[in-house]
Chains A and B, each alone.
Chain A
Amino acid sequence: MTATQVQQELAERVADTAKECAGVADLGSRSIATYLPGRKVPGVDVEGDNVRIHLVARWGYVLTDVAAEVRRAVSPLVNGRPIDVVIEDVDLDAVVDVRGALPEAAST
């Protein structure tokens, strides 16, 4: 397996794992991505000492919990490297009423 393939697989696994975490609406597409031949994985950068993950959170979640959840889920994939999480945005359409967190206010 070439270095590119290793990286491709890692970036994709990190992206899939992060997307499945509670409170994650999507990965951020604004600034970072892993660039691969023919495609890119937005919101994930697995190069360098710190893994970087940019994401869009769902409305109603405590964002520090979301970040902790992502970190917990992704950490085994990256050999425990530090993971910097950036919450780029919150998705008001993806309302999940977790703790009565103002969905009625979100829609007005």
Chain B
Amino acid sequence: MSQTDMQGRTQNRSTKDSPLVTDQGKTTISDEVVEKVAGTAAREVNGVHAMGGSTARALGTIKEKLSSSTGPSPSQGVSVEVGEKQAAIDLDLVVEFGTSIIQLANAVRRNVINRVEQMTGLEVTEVNITVNDVWLGEDDMPSSSEPRVE
């Protein structure tokens, strides 16, 4: 398990001019919205194989089977803290073997920040990424098709 804790902030914007607080009323973005946007944005990056810790993924698989849904919930592996103008995001990733985890984490962080800030107007203060596992591909499955002895 490796953790990269760099702050993903690129620019230091004043929070006073948040598009969410206007004279005509406030706009509130719920946690669930940020989770979905962040989860989908993280999955968009090549090299992210799955999201969530092992328990979340196991439960997710069972839920998928029960509900016959097409894929894991977009918010799996994402937890967020959302305030009036800012959001902090924690991500659990499973990466594909062969990717540079640092580069991948930076790319995920960049994409998540872009998407969340663009779509929700919240300022993303941090994106903490935990890499939970490395996916070795289909090859890591023991192949039972060929008998080893005749």
Report which A residues bind B (CB closer than 8 A): 50-51, 57, 61-64, 67, 71, 75, 80, 82-90, 92, 101-102, 105-108
Residues of B with C-beta under 8 A to A92: 36, 40, 74
User: Is B29 touching A84 in the complex (CB atoms < 8 A)?
Assistant: no
Residues of B with C-beta under 8 A to A51: 25
Residues of A with C-beta under 8 A to B136: none
Bound: A57/B36 CA distance, A = 12
A63 with B40, Cβ < 8 A, contacts A82-B23, A83-B24, A107-B71 known: no
Contact of A63 among B29, B32, B43, B44 (CB under 8 A): B29
User: Is B32 touching A71 in the complex (CB atoms < 8 A)?
Assistant: no
User: Is B37 touching A90 in the complex (CB atoms < 8 A)?
Assistant: yes
User: Is A86 touching B28 in the complex (CB atoms < 8 A)?
Assistant: yes
Number of A-B residue pairs, CB cutoff 8 Å, is: 79
Interface string of B1-26 (1 = CB under 8 A from A): 00000000000000000011011111
Bound: A90/B30 CA distance, A = 10
The smallest C-beta distance from A30 to any residue of chain B, in angstroms, reads 9
Residues of B with C-beta under 8 A to A62: 118-119, 121
